[in-house]
Chain A
Amino acid sequence: MNTLRSRRFIIMGLLPAMLIYALFVFVPVIWSAYYGFFNWSGIGASSFIGLDNYVEIVHDPIFWRALKNNFIFVGAAVLGQVPLALILAILLSKNNFLQRFLRSAIFLPMVLSTVVIGMIWQYIYHPQIGILNFFLDTLGLESWKLQWLSDGKIAIFALIPPLIWSFVGLYLIIFMSALQNIPGEIHDAAQLDGATGLRKLASISLPMIWGTVQVALVLCISGSLKSFDLVYIMTKGGPAHATELLATYMYNSTFTSYRYGFGSAISTTIVLISLILIGSSQWITSRKPKQ
């Protein structure tokens, strides 16, 4: 009697969450895998074309450009964001007013919408009215003034500072709480042994939080693959696909040319690529400490 009632409660309790989750997260992914085999414009009949969409993706230079740009973002996050956040976490370890204030300031972009962040940086980079070029003028560095977002060669790199600016706070807080979890006795022992400064950092602090660094790296990789909003707002993937990412490539080829079958194939490709990348990054980082 009692178990019957609790069994019914278990089912009733889990059902709504699982239904909504399955319907709006899993079903779309499975469906896009299915639609990826069709040529479909959204209205009318769809025709089965087998792997043609995937063949087209693999032969599309824009796809490879987008993939490369995604890797540039991953690289910037891993080599820029993580070290910067670590340095800041070490420098801002005290709890006085100024440091608390700086921590809050660095974290602030995390609560702003990407639309606002993207638009602010668009203004910063604007060739005529942008404060970056004004600033270079003031310093007398006219020759350094560039068409930050409309020059295909530098646009993708111009997107990196806003990206780091908006997420570094998250990693700062992650590292700070990891550093605080190092027991005080270890610091005392290090002090007795005469380890200070960089020495202490390299042989005590870093190894102690290595697990967290690994988590942060995996986060960086999956986070960089997810970037879409910022780039869509700032460049829409342009100029001439120079800042195309996998997600903007998918958006542009689906919703500007109404090719839902092709877009679904790209979506499926994105899922596969990110599962492979996350899987391998987890595998690599989890192997290291055992050696």
Chain B
Amino acid sequence: MNIMRTKKGLFWTLLTGYGIFTLYPFFWLVISAFKTNEDFYSHPFGLPEIWHFDNFSRAWESSKLGTAFMNSMIVSVGSLMITLFIAALASFVLARFQFRLKGWIMTFFVVGMLIPIHSTLVPLFILMKQMSMLNTYWALIFPYTAFALPTAIFVLTAYLSTIPKEIEEAAFIDGTGLWGLFRRIILPISTPALSTVTILSFLHSWNDFSFALVLINKTKLKTLPLGIANFADGYQTDYGLTLAAMTISVIPTILIYLIFQDQVMKGMTAGAVKG
């Protein structure tokens, strides 16, 4: 009985300890974002003496976070739209039609997933330069789309193959063409899978740093991660300001995570395991 109790106590101490360890960096980020530099030095662990909400408005203005926010929005939503459309179309074909090269095409997408993303940075830079796409939104939209495609196609194909074919056959007999079938039947019934793909590829492009680092160097076009990294270099001595900018930049992803937690977890693990 006593051993059981010590065991249980140990178990809870360990778990709580780990929980604190895992949440602390994040907690520290948020509370320090409200501090002045003096507060930052003198009470590194405590809550702010005075909660400086103005750190956030100052960070927003001096870092041009607004522009970076918009840029991130444009490239993330842009590549998301293209990904959803062409991945749904390809998955419809792959899940529902029989043709000779099908196996090869699936392999084509699998092999691509083995290629480490960073090994494409140098050649992509050269490619974009030759296509005069460097420093445009397209320089990010296309690579984000390309790297989101395999997971999107796997998730969607797997989902579509669980749906009985009778649904489409009925529509087909009614005289709906293949495009109509895709638009009116396939897209609506794949909503659950499409929303998983949406969350995954949005988070990916929103958080991406390396492509933006290599393919964008105009300040006006910089995305949020790049903007934050540059801002930190410039304002290294005003800690509260830098931390406030960092906090602002994670709000959208944290919101998505809080609202769609199960889907985020399931989607990310499914995406990873299939890759």
A192, CB-defined interface residue at 8 Å: no
A247 to B209, CA, bound (A): 13
* CB-defined contacts of A283 to chain B, threshold 8 Å: none
A17 to B92, CA, bound (A): 12
Inter-chain contact A6/B123, CB cutoff 8 Å: no
Query: Contacts A5-B178, A24-B142, A267-B123 known; A226 to B118 CB distance under 8 Å?
Result: yes
Least CB distance from B61 to A in Å reads 20
* CB-defined contacts of B120 to chain A, threshold 8 Å: 24-25, 28-29, 32, 267
* CB-defined contacts of B22 to chain A, threshold 8 Å: 102, 105-106, 108-109, 165
Least CB distance from A128 to B in Å reads 9
A6 to B96, CA, bound (A): 11
Give the total of B residues in contact with A, Cβ under 8 Å. Answer: 88
* CB-defined contacts of A174 to chain B, threshold 8 Å: 269, 272-273
Of residues 205 through 250 on chain A, the ones whose CB sits less than 8 Å from some CB of chain B are 215, 219, 222, 225-226, 228-229, 232-233, 247, 250
- Interface size, A (range): 35 or more
Inter-chain contact B142/A28, CB cutoff 8 Å: no
B239, CB-defined interface residue at 8 Å: yes
Inter-chain contact B15/A102, CB cutoff 8 Å: yes
A23 to B147, CA, bound (A): 11
Inter-chain contact A260/B250, CB cutoff 8 Å: no
* CB-defined contacts of A270 to chain B, threshold 8 Å: 116, 118-119
Q: Is the interface of B mostly helix, strand, loop or mixed?
A: helix
A139, CB-defined interface residue at 8 Å: no
* CB-defined contacts of B226 to chain A, threshold 8 Å: 115
Q: Is the interface of A mostly helix, strand, loop or mixed?
A: helix
B109, CB-defined interface residue at 8 Å: yes
Select one of B40, B87, B272 contacting A170, CB under 8 A.
B272
B65, CB-defined interface residue at 8 Å: no
Inter-chain contact A170/B122, CB cutoff 8 Å: no
A113 to B41, CA, bound (A): 26
A63, CB-defined interface residue at 8 Å: no
A5 to B180, CA, bound (A): 13
A186 to B49, CA, bound (A): 56
Inter-chain contact B272/A115, CB cutoff 8 Å: no
Least CB distance from B42 to A in Å reads 11
Inter-chain contact A115/B209, CB cutoff 8 Å: yes
A108 to B82, CA, bound (A): 27
A48, CB-defined interface residue at 8 Å: no
Interface 1/0s, chain B 77-89, versus A by CB < 8 A? 0000010001101
Interface 1/0s, chain B 22-53, versus A by CB < 8 A? 11011011001000000011001100000000
Given A28-B120, A102-B18, A108-B22, 15 more contacts at CB 8 Å? Answer: A10-B97, A17-B87, A110-B268, A113-B250, A116-B250, A119-B232, A119-B242, A123-B28, A170-B272, A229-B209, A247-B116, A250-B122, A251-B118, A266-B122, A267-B119
22 contacts between A and B (CB under 8 A): A9-B97, A10-B99, A13-B90, A21-B149, A29-B119, A32-B123, A104-B261, A109-B22, A113-B207, A113-B225, A119-B246, A124-B25, A129-B239, A134-B45, A173-B268, A177-B269, A247-B116, A250-B118, A250-B119, A255-B214, A264-B126, A271-B119
